[in-house]
Chain A
Amino acid sequence: MAGAVELLWATTSVMARLEETGVVSQADAISIGLVGPAARACGLSRDVRNDFPSGIYRYANIPPASWHSGDVFARAFVRWVESQRSIAFIREQLGTLPTGAVAVASGRIAPDAMAVSLVEGWRGEICHVALTDSNGRFEHYKVSDPSFHNWYGLALALRNQQISDFPLCNKSFNLSYCGHDL
């Protein structure tokens, strides 16, 4: 695959299409709260695995991949760098797998508690919030998907662009309708 992707970056007609298309400025990315690769393509170093490390990420980290230009190229390039770093990380970790059970039974759920969980998914930050009642049963559970944060980023990327740039910008954000509507 690497050969095909390197060919992408080396082909001027492709680069002319990707560069300076659908630009989101870093200031806009911060003010609307972009997450995931879309944020990192605006030069931000925003990654739950680094900002709130838990589990394996407390001991081993993947350096966040970012690019400054905020255009379609940046969003594609950040994904490419992330894919390579993720593969390298997985290979490295597979060499030092700990022993023990693959799955463990979960304990009783704490009563009258609120828990917040943040995970870096492939589109960005996924947040789960759970509230329990006095019997330790879920009273409310809310999931927020990265698409919820990034949809307005797509709207900003399309300002003053030609209609023919819509598919390119749309796919560079790769948003989920049902994730947004959770």
Chain B
Amino acid sequence: MWRVILERLRQKHRTHGYPAEAPVMPGRFQGRPVVDNNTVAGAEGPVACCPTAALAIGPDHRLRLDAGKCLFCGECTKACGQHGVRFTQEHRLAAARREDLVIKGGEEHLADALNKEAARLFGRSLKLRQVSAGGCNACEADTNVLNTLVFDLGRFGIQFVASPRHADGLLVTGPVTKNMELALRKTYEAVPSPKIVIAVGACAISGGLFAGHDETFRGVGDILPVDLFIPGCPPHPWTILDGLLRVLGKLR
């Protein structure tokens, strides 16, 4: 028993003061991209080097970046030398509507709270079933780490459960492989209504690197209605937590 007490004293309190305290992102973190409003000359280089065609020139002849496709690899910033696209340290990226993930010059859309009824039902207790539908384990690892004592997801009333029957919604990762389609549909049907679906990561949002492949879909949206999109490859745990709290109306 003394050993347990001594070890507890040695470990100290590790839980972060979020959301009252802002998270400190590592120096190499590539957060929310910013697209210049007026640059199009010379944009062909950065557009051509984007591995997922996230960066494009819109009908208004301005650059736009689809954060739902972006791998945050930074190839475009290398190609354009910081003019046109650059990545900030901003970790808040989640959006409730797919079109809000498309970043045009200087605009910003963060996920709003769900409707009042959903906030009343899930705001104090949200149980999620995680489905990895062909994910590479990166999004799964960054979601799983929210259960550790640094993030302590339980204090926000959010918990991952072992059965869809116990869940209020699904948190899906991966592009949805054809082999996981039936499992994903069955899991969704097993969740009692009303329910929400959260897509985490570029693959789950748009198919990511695998978009257009014969054996995968272009993300969860092809199969199920999605209520929250959390971009990243993988998203940082703070990005995922921000999205979950925002959709529950716990952050404004």
Q: Indicate if the CB atoms of B7 and A4 lie closer than 8 Å.
A: yes
Which residues does B use to contact A, with CB under 8 Å? Answer: 3-4, 7, 10-11, 132-135, 137, 174, 177, 179-180, 183
- Closest B residue by C-beta to A141: B215
Q: Indicate if the CB atoms of A178 and B10 lie closer than 8 Å.
A: no
Picked from B3, B4, B7, B177, the residue with its CB within 8 Å of the CB of A182 is B177
Q: Indicate if the CB atoms of A178 and B7 lie closer than 8 Å.
A: no
Distance, CA A182 to CA B179, complexed state (A): 7
Q: Indicate if the CB atoms of B132 and A7 lie closer than 8 Å.
A: no
Picked from A4, A11, A177, the residue with its CB within 8 Å of the CB of B183 is A177
**Distance (Å) between the CB of A99 and the closest chain B CB?**
20
Q: Indicate if the CB atoms of B132 and A177 lie closer than 8 Å.
A: yes
A163 in the interface (beta carbon within 8 A): no
**Given A3-B10, A3-B11, A4-B11, are A178 and B134 also a contact pair (CB < 8 Å)?**
yes
List, in ascending order, chain A residues with CB within 8 A of B11's CB.
Answer: 3-4
List, in ascending order, chain A residues with CB within 8 A of B179's CB.
Answer: 178, 181-182
Distance, CA A3 to CA B11, complexed state (A): 8
Please list the 6 inter-chain residue pairs (A to B) with the smallest Cβ-Cβ separation, ordered nearest first.
Answer: A181-B179, A178-B132, A7-B7, A3-B7, A178-B134, A178-B180
**Distance (Å) between the CB of A100 and the closest chain B CB?**
17
A176 in the interface (beta carbon within 8 A): yes
Q: Indicate if the CB atoms of A10 and B183 lie closer than 8 Å.
A: no
List, in ascending order, chain B residues with CB within 8 A of A4's CB.
Answer: 7, 11
List, in ascending order, chain A residues with CB within 8 A of B177's CB.
Answer: 178, 181-182
List, in ascending order, chain A residues with CB within 8 A of B133's CB.
Answer: 178
**Distance (Å) between the CB of A95 and the closest chain B CB?**
21
List, in ascending order, chain B residues with CB within 8 A of A11's CB.
Answer: 4
Which residues does A use to contact B, with CB under 8 Å? Answer: 3-4, 7, 10-11, 176-178, 181-182
Q: Indicate if the CB atoms of A178 and B3 lie closer than 8 Å.
A: no
List, in ascending order, chain A residues with CB within 8 A of B132's CB.
Answer: 176-178
List, in ascending order, chain B residues with CB within 8 A of A3's CB.
Answer: 7, 10-11
Distance, CA A9 to CA B10, complexed state (A): 18
Q: Indicate if the CB atoms of A181 and B7 lie closer than 8 Å.
A: no
- Closest A residue by C-beta to B137: A176
**Distance (Å) between the CB of B1 and the closest chain A CB?**
10
**Given A3-B10, A4-B11, A176-B132, are A181 and B4 also a contact pair (CB < 8 Å)?**
no
Q: Indicate if the CB atoms of A10 and B3 lie closer than 8 Å.
A: yes
Beyond A3-B7, A178-B177, A178-B179, 18 additional pairs, beta carbon < 8 A: A3-B10, A3-B11, A4-B7, A7-B4, A7-B7, A10-B3, A176-B132, A176-B137, A177-B180, A177-B183, A178-B132, A178-B133, A178-B134, A181-B177, A181-B179, A181-B180, A181-B183, A182-B179
- Closest B residue by C-beta to A181: B179
List, in ascending order, chain B residues with CB within 8 A of A177's CB.
Answer: 132, 180, 183
- Closest B residue by C-beta to A123: B137
Distance, CA A75 to CA B140, complexed state (A): 21
**Distance (Å) between the CB of B172 and the closest chain A CB?**
11
Distance, CA A10 to CA B4, complexed state (A): 10
**Given A3-B10, A3-B11, A4-B11, are A178 and B135 also a contact pair (CB < 8 Å)?**
yes
Distance, CA A161 to CA B181, complexed state (A): 33
**Distance (Å) between the CB of B145 and the closest chain A CB?**
14
Distance, CA A4 to CA B11, complexed state (A): 8
**Distance (Å) between the CB of B238 and the closest chain A CB?**
21
- Closest A residue by C-beta to B4: A7
**Distance (Å) between the CB of A127 and the closest chain B CB?**
16
List, in ascending order, chain B residues with CB within 8 A of A182's CB.
Answer: 134, 177, 179
Distance, CA A72 to CA B133, complexed state (A): 27
**Distance (Å) between the CB of A140 and the closest chain B CB?**
11
A-B contact pairs, 9 of them (CB 8 A): A7-B4, A7-B7, A11-B4, A178-B134, A178-B179, A181-B179, A181-B183, A182-B134, A182-B177
